[in-house]
Structure 1
Amino acid sequence: MREMTHADCDRVAEIRVRGRQTAYRGLMPQAYLDGLDVAEDAARHRARLAGGGGRVVNLVAEQEGEVTGWAAFGPYRDGDAHTADAELYALYVHPGHQGRGAGRALLAETVRRCSAAGRPRVFLWVLRDNARARRFSERAGFWPDGAEEAFEAGGVAVPEVRSVTVPHARPVTAPGA
């Protein structure tokens, strides 16, 4: 586990795009998923890293020298305002490496860092119909709090539900811990 560097942008983009294409099949329009572009995503990651200002933390998980997962987190976004809480903006594991602990390790490290920074709660948004991701986050101590919003993907409204954990109340542990 380490912070992402510019050298990781291509691999992280591949993980994010392939992860979305796999996890969101049947939950988002296929044309939208097919249109996701690794090179464009990598360019966005490079731009965000260059101008990030330290508000967003990007972590990568490595297994046997290969980057297999990525997570990004920072202050919770409530409209245009940031709150004292934290938000896990994204967590993806390459489809070929799922089920090997990278996602759990990334989530545990995210919650650990948020707790160490004094963030009272950590929020995340999950596609409402993504049962696998919802089970994953619930096993880690994140529970839906009743908030639901939709975002547009390929002209279709895709509903998300918000989940929350209180880092000091129920610590999230990495695999084997």
Structure 2
Amino acid sequence: MDTPPPHIRPMALGDCDRVSEIRIRGWQHAYRGLMPQPYLDALSVARDAEKRRAWFGQGDGTVVNLVAERDGQVVGWAAYGPYRDGEVRTGDAELYAIYIDPVHLGSGAGRALLAASVERCSGYPRMFLWVLKENTRARRFYERAGFRADGAEEPFDVDGVAVPEVRYAREL
């Protein structure tokens, strides 16, 4: 039996704790072996949720947070907005983050969040995103959705360990 697609909706303040749990558990799952384990082990859902609640509702509304719900439970989160090239704003969009509760990986929640983010950015010419170079699972996910590495790379350092990112792009 096919699982119905999750319900995608804007994130609410009451979702902050669950989104932080998804984000931190997502990092700990997806980046195991790619980042120093002590760094991943030290990530705190409570600290992340505190920051998320403080940030929620601030800003100019250009950053959009979406959640994927299944049976009333938030199972994934995505954030997108204008592309950030240093401090320069371009006319493009950027997917800033997408994380799925590890228990729900492969359930279609990631595809639904990505599709909703892309659809809502249809007024932009392109959408960019950054992904860890060694994160082959995520890279395959984005490639199946029509994104392609465009040759740009950025250094990223976690506790003294280089974990470079590559940029992906898709015409919208």
- Shorter-chain TM range is over 0.9
Cα deviation 1:52-95 (Å, max 9, x = unaligned): 22010000000111000000000000111211100000000000
* Paired AA for residue 19 in structure 1: G
For the 8 Å contact 1:31–1:154, the answer to whether it is kept is no
Cα deviation 1:8-37 (Å, max 9, x = unaligned): 000000000000000000000001100110
The TM-score with structure 1 as length reference comes to 0.91
The TM-score with structure 2 as length reference comes to 0.94
Q: What's the counterpart of residue 43 of structure 1?
A: 50
Q: What's the counterpart of residue 67 of structure 1?
A: 74
Which of 95, 98, 120 is matched with 1:113 structurally? Answer: 120
Q: What's the counterpart of residue 136 of structure 2?
A: 131
Q: What's the counterpart of residue 171 of structure 2?
A: 166
- Distance in 2 separating the partners of 1:154 and 1:9: 26
Identity %: 65
- CA displacement at 1:50 relative to structure 2: 2.8
* Paired AA for residue 135 in structure 1: R
For the 8 Å contact 1:69–1:102, the answer to whether it is kept is yes
- Distance in 1 separating the partners of 2:108 and 2:58: 31
Q: What's the counterpart of residue 3 of structure 1?
A: 10
SS of 1:161 mapped into structure 2: strand
The number of equivalent residue pairs is 165
Is 1:16–2:23 an aligned residue pair? yes
- Counting only pairs closer than 5 Å after superposition, residues 69-88 of structure 1 correspond to structure 2 as 69-88=76-95
Structure 1 runs of 4+ off > 3 angstroms?
Answer: none
Q: What's the counterpart of residue 102 of structure 1?
A: 109
SS of 1:141 mapped into structure 2: coil
Which of 97, 105, 115 is matched with 1:90 structurally? Answer: 97
Is 1:156–2:161 an aligned residue pair? yes
Q: Structure 2: which 5+ residue stretches go unaligned?
A: 1-7
Q: What's the counterpart of residue 170 of structure 1?
A: none
- Distance in 2 separating the partners of 1:60 and 1:19: 14
Q: Structure 1: which 5+ residue stretches go unaligned?
A: 168-177
